[in-house]
Amino acid sequence: MTFSALRILKEGLTGNKGWRPHWRDPDPKGEYDIVIIGGGGHGLSTAYYLAKEHGLKNIAVLEKGYIGGGNVGRNTTIVRANYMMPGNSEFYSHSLKLWEGLEQDLNYNAMLSQRGQLALFNSDAARDAGVRRANAVINQGDDAEILTVDQLRREVPYLDYDQTRFPIYGGIMYRRAGTARHDAVAWGYARGADRRGVEIIQNCEVTGIDIIDGVVQGVQTTRGAISAKKVAIVVAGRSSQVAAMAGMRLPIESHVLQAFVTEGLKPVINHVVSYGMLGHFYISQSDKGGLVFGGNLDMYSSYAARGNLPMAEHVAEAAMTLMPIIGKARLLRSWGGIMDMTSDGSPIIDKTHVDGLYLNAGWCYGGFKAVPASGNCFAHLIAQDRPHPAATKFRLDRFRTGTGLMDEEGTGSHHNLH
């Protein structure tokens, strides 16, 4: 089933009775060539690119819940390529290019909106660091534009430029950044993978990983044992728990990141706006009119997909400091995503010490924007047993050896500072 303007018109005129499910709902087989643990954005994109670019079809994606119910549906939907460290810079540049062709590739509307991201400065030091980052982004071949306060007043007049506690000194505008519809991204990749023969098994939790003499044999699940030549772990905030089934202790802590959305409003915010005032704050306006915003991590480890009131108050204070015009907007809901945080703020895409077992984890704040490149690079690794050129730095052993660390946050190896 393909999508087109004529198809949408036809279904609208005939009661929308001709649409079919986007993907099948099969029972798991006893054996696959490749089993992917995790049916979020990263797992589904991995399956899609394994089938599309490497011609592999005997693949199962195992999701303990339903497609779109995990972190891929619990984020603030920001797409950007403004990383600075070698290794991260080229990877996120690769991801942004894939984003820009994604809807045509999938024949699916992921609602990508390259409305631009504005990163504000609130001190001389922040401006100096921002200029350095902008130069690194430009050197990578992506876009970054330094805006003065006068330029900002003309382009984003709704900010409070007169408050003195966290004054606005300028900002960086990334014109190609923006947002996408998170669940649509998951649905698009699920549909694309299914059309190429991948089996997506929902409500199938992995309870064990079978290993004999250092070689992976398959997995144990709530729907029976499944044999596989290769097994890939792509479970975001649950990475440490699943890896422990293979006897691995990962350099990852899981933290909750809260997000919030207001009632629908008339268009007021044209860009994604981020501001490192009270730690961090970011906001955009969805296509439905709701203001979507968030801030810092809840500063304790947790596997609970919910937040706490002190952080909600903290984020609301930041919102009111930056743009008091939204003070009367009613908050509709909040949610928490489980973040898999590495000590250097950068991800892992690598083989493990177990033959046939692969790991994709540690996305920190970069998970959603990384979905296309993560799947593309992880599929390359699984299919060819060598890293994709855009992901050569994401080695697991860098935490053991201390070499090759990519301190993207610039805060050192301290989770509480990420």
CA–CA dist 75, 42 (Å, integer): 14
φ/ψ region of 364 (left if φ > 0, alpha if ψ in -120 to 50, else beta) reads left
Going from N- to C-terminal start, the domains of the chain cover: 29-78+182-251+344-417, 113-177+254-340
Secondary-structure class of domain 29-78+182-251+344-417 per CATH: alpha beta
Place of tokens 């499910």: 21
Q: 165 versus 379: which is more confidently predicted?
A: 379
pLDDT-derived band at 379, boundaries 50, 70, 90: very high
Closest by CA position to 113, among listed 138, 137, 78: 78
Mean pLDDT over 370-399 rounds to 97
Residue 13 reports pLDDT greater than 80: yes
- Give the CATH number of domain 113-177+254-340: 3.30.9.10
Backbone φ and ψ of 412, nearest 5°: 80, 180
Q: Over 60: is that where the pLDDT of 412 sits?
A: no
DSSP string, 205-226: -EEEEEEETTEEEEEEETTEEE
- Taking residues 25-42, report their average pLDDT: 97
Mean pLDDT of the chain: 93
- Of residues 55 and 20, the one with the higher pLDDT is 55
The pLDDT value given to residue 166: 86
Please name the residue that has the structure tokens 């973040």.
339
Which residue shows structure tokens 């991948």? 198
Q: How confident is the model at residue 1 (pLDDT cuts 50, 70, 90)?
A: low
pLDDT at position 382 over 50: yes
Q: Which DSSP string do the residues of 321-360 spell out, in sequence order?
A: HH-GGGTTPPEEEEEEEEEEEETTS--EEEE-SSBTEEEE
Side by side, the strands of the sheet bearing 272-275 are: 145-147, 170-174, 117-121, 272-275, 281-285, 290-301, 252-264, 331-342
Distances (CA, A) of 231 to 64, 217, 236: 16, 8, 15
For residue range 192-225, list pLDDT tens digits in order.
999 999 999 999 999 999 999 999 999 999 999 9
Residue 73, pLDDT above cutoff 50? yes
For residue 415, the one-letter residue type is H
Residue 46 pLDDT greater than 60, yes or no: yes
User: What are the pLDDT digits (tens) for 330-378?
Assistant: 999 999 999 999 988 899 999 999 999 999 999 998 899 999 999 999 9
To the nearest 10°, report the CA torsion of 387, 133, 81, 93.
-40
The pLDDT assigned to 411 comes to: 54
Confidence of residue 409 (pLDDT cuts 50, 70, 90): low
Please give the average per-residue pLDDT across 118-145, as a whole number.
Answer: 94
Residues 6+ apart with CB under 8 A from 381: 349, 350, 351, 358, 387, 388, 391
Structure tokens at 317: 């204070």
The structure tokens listed for 40 are: 């979020």
What mean pLDDT do residues 257-286 have? 91
Q: Are strands 224-233 and 31-37 parallel, antiparallel or unpaired?
A: parallel
Angle at 228 between CA 223 and CA 230, to 5 degrees: 130
Closest by Cα among 342, 344, 335, 343 to 360: 342
